[in-house]
Structure 1
């Protein structure tokens, strides 16, 4: 199977997934825009829905629309070139925002479960607002160089793109330092270590207090249910992102893009990208399954 044929097949797989994800995140945005957004966790889930919507909107042309059989050759070359040049960096910024909002949610749950006396100090609406602003700035700064990874050329009436900074032969320093080392540290290692350690501590605390559940107040039981729901979200998040991290680490040892030289690795890389989109598109269903209040708000739309 040719590379382009596989991408065309995946375009039809991505399309319904992204559209369902957009609908789900819009509904989540509505649910968490209710009065409970004033709580830190409500505001963080509201912010995550916004970030995921942007991620899915940018992923739509990047992974689906530009490969659909709706373009002439000239139109396709134009769409592919400008999508790679400008949409890809924006997609990565949204991905970084979603990633670190997930980290923030995990930290919030760790404080709520393991440091309950510090909740009033750290888990406040103003604190979360400043944290989200810092994440947005960080995401823009971290991914700004990606706007220079591709260069657009005009050849015989066609708009083409080629690797510029992303050319590992021409700019090996960029490939190793930024695309590999910086990416592995800030896109994977730091957030994954934080989420793994925090989640292990949360799970340990939940197991310890399981025997005391009958003595909990209704509010405490709701907090614990929220924690379980967010544990599912973050663990599923880790699973869906793990394989992309493994591929990037393998490329760091290889000193170049493995997916360029092997069609099967390219297909595998595309499947790993799809897993990330799957997570972004599925959070609505996790909220709906685990949160009674969320279900009530959504069901209220049809009353």
Structure 2
């Protein structure tokens, strides 16, 4: 009787595990295979549009240089997401793409380190323009020497060099080879860790602790502290503007609010990755891989990274008045541009009247 109960229990557990596994595959297909591919297409186009607008002569500034670089990093991340996540899960349902599922691993030894370098580059670029905005808003006496185009170019060069050097060990982590699958008689490209990739120092020091501190904790603490300081500065500035009208101060506030929105979305979207890295650090025996809950959490965390790389254009349009006007100007949407300018003029005039000022300059371009 007891042996029968144990056998039934094992059968039920096996059936339950199989059902959970099928549910996980379905979940990943909808998140990465469908939503991920659509989001990537939108993000790639949106980031190109951002680069076009930010490169316009009316937008040229040290901040625009940082945002152009961020858009480039984001597009590399989106391409990597398509190659390593979105298309593989889409190919599980699309018969014509079956060969892709068996061959995409060829891209891992080179593409994987590049994608991680791009992710790290986007993180440190966000930190760089946050620091610059903090100096411009909260330490204006230092802004003339610090917030310059040449300083921005040097900073971006240093960041690029840093992320490339930091990720060099990743190029020695994996190797790929062909393997015949006896179940379906199909030759697949299989990824395996090298001896270097399996070395305890590499796995525990570099992959876990260095990753946790240099990729997430240190940058995130800087961003969180400076973003709070920027929000307080904008609040104080708006209180001042109710009494004193200043076009340049208004434009600076608009730029700061736009960047605060970018930083806020960045922190929200990247936060699950911090949790994931902490889980990795406290789970040296890799028990997390037995959990379907963790698998779904990891799927969501990677998808949120993709969201972060795709939505900055929307934030620029929503919170960047100057960006909107230049975008409409470039693409010939003059009626919308004139309507926006009229609304800005009306708002500006109302602000001036409340402040008993006779200043009439309202141009945002």
The answer as to 2:258 corresponding to 1:229 is yes
**Contact conserved, 2:59 with 2:323, CA < 8 A, in 1?**
no
**Contact conserved, 1:51 with 1:97, CA < 8 A, in 2?**
yes
Distance 1:8 1:194 in 2: 36
Show the counterpart of 1:141.
165
Distance 1:258 1:32 in 2: 46
Any idea what the Cα deviations from partners look like across 1:241-285, whole Å, max 9, x if unmatched?
111111211211111445422222112101011111111111000
Show the counterpart of 2:63.
41
Aligned-partner SS, 2:55? coil
The answer as to 2:52 corresponding to 1:27 is no
Show the counterpart of 1:260.
289
Distance 2:269 2:238 in 1: 29
**Contact conserved, 1:150 with 1:165, CA < 8 A, in 2?**
no
Distance 2:132 2:233 in 1: 14
Distance 2:76 2:39 in 1: 15
Judged with a 3 Å threshold, the aligned counterparts in structure 2 of structure 1 residues 262 and 166 are, in CA distance, closer, same or farther, namely farther
Q: Report deviation, 1:8.
A: 2.8
Q: Report deviation, 1:165.
A: 6.0
Show the counterpart of 1:83.
107
Aligned-partner SS, 2:311? helix
Distance 1:258 1:40 in 2: 46
Aligned-partner SS, 1:254? coil
Match for 1:125 among 149, 153, 156? 149
* Cα-Cα RMSD: 1.9
Show the counterpart of 1:294.
323
Show the counterpart of 2:179.
155
Judged with a 3 Å threshold, the aligned counterparts in structure 2 of structure 1 residues 166 and 189 are, in CA distance, closer, same or farther, namely farther
Distance 2:245 2:173 in 1: 54
**Contact conserved, 2:237 with 2:253, CA < 8 A, in 1?**
no
TM-score, scaled relative to structure 1: 0.92
Show the counterpart of 2:202.
174
Show the counterpart of 1:243.
272
Aligned-partner SS, 1:38? coil
**Contact conserved, 1:37 with 1:43, CA < 8 A, in 2?**
no
Judged with a 3 Å threshold, the aligned counterparts in structure 2 of structure 1 residues 75 and 228 are, in CA distance, closer, same or farther, namely closer
Show the counterpart of 1:108.
132
**Contact conserved, 2:43 with 2:311, CA < 8 A, in 1?**
yes
Aligned-partner SS, 1:35? coil
Q: Report deviation, 1:163.
A: 2.9
**Contact conserved, 2:58 with 2:326, CA < 8 A, in 1?**
no
Match for 1:57 among 68, 79, 99? 79
The answer as to 2:236 corresponding to 1:208 is yes
Of structures 1 and 2, the one scoring higher in RCO (CA 8 A, sep 6+) is 1
Q: Which stretch has the larger CA shift, 52-61 or 26-35? A: 52-61
- Higher Cα Rg, which structure: 2
Show the counterpart of 2:227.
199
**Contact conserved, 1:165 with 1:174, CA < 8 A, in 2?**
no
Distance 1:117 1:45 in 2: 24
**Contact conserved, 1:77 with 1:159, CA < 8 A, in 2?**
yes
Gaps of 5+ in 1: none
Q: Report deviation, 1:302.
A: 4.2
